[in-house]
Amino acid sequence: MNSNKRYGAWWLRMAAVYLVVGVSLGNYMGATHDFGLRSVHAHVNLLGWASMLGFGLVAQQWADTLSPRLVALQFWLHQLALPAMLSALAALMRGVTAAEPLVGLGSAVVGLAVLAFAANVWLGTGAKLRAA
Ligand code: HEM
Ligand code: HEM
């Protein structure tokens, strides 16, 4: 199987994991009326579920034109940085101010992963447009 398709499948699997975590946290917040982790909930769902769903579908759809190296780089940067960023954010929201640099570092690395994705889509769709 093309490695882009394999990464696509793993994006979708991880998206499903983040959806379970995000929705569970939302239910916890609704049940307890403790909205202190609202931003964690929002970004678990948006950078986890929603973004990973998009990345997975794009990797599957354009498996033949995307650079496998950029797909792999983006996947690992995002998968390693996001849990660090979100757990540090949760700690920060609970008053652990020492966690702030890790939120910043995690956010910067997620930003790099997003740049890898954007470059890959532009290069891949460029090849598609020239071939059309
Ligand atoms: C059963 C599922 C869910 C429950 C029970 C739930 C519950 C909540 C609660 C209680 C809040 C806080 C509201 C407040 O502070 O006033 C919230 C905020 C939020 N939720 Fe969810 N949520 C769920 C699913 C989702 C999903 C799937 C997404 C995105 C794909 C999402 C995105 C957001 C966002 C972006 C906010 C922040 C909104 C703001 O700052 O105004 N939620 N959710
Ligand atoms: C590394 C990437 C990102 C960083 C560093 C970031 C940072 C932030 C910050 C600092 C806030 C304000 C939080 C607050 O006032 O409590 C925020 C809010 C928000 N962001 Fe992001 N964001 C990122 C990615 C995204 C993405 C990809 C989406 C949508 C797909 C998104 C959707 C939202 C929404 C809906 C809110 C308002 C909900 C809330 O209060 O938390 N963010 N973000």
Residue nearest to atom 43 of ligand 1 (CA): 26
Asked if residue 6 has pLDDT above 90, the reply is yes
Q: Which atom of ligand 1 is nearest to the CA of 35?
A: 15
DSSP assigned state of 34 = -
The answer to whether the CB of 4 is under 6 A from ligand 1 is no
More confident residue, 130 or 81: 81
Q: Summarize the confidence of residues 15-43 as an average pLDDT.
A: 98
Beta strands in the chain (DSSP E): none
The answer to whether the CB of 16 is under 6 A from ligand 1 is no
Grade residue 131 by pLDDT with cuts at 50, 70 and 90. confident
Residue nearest to atom 1 of ligand 2 (CA): 107
Q: Summarize pLDDT for 106-130 with one digit per residue, the tens.
A: 999 999 999 999 999 999 888 778 8
Grade residue 1 by pLDDT with cuts at 50, 70 and 90. low
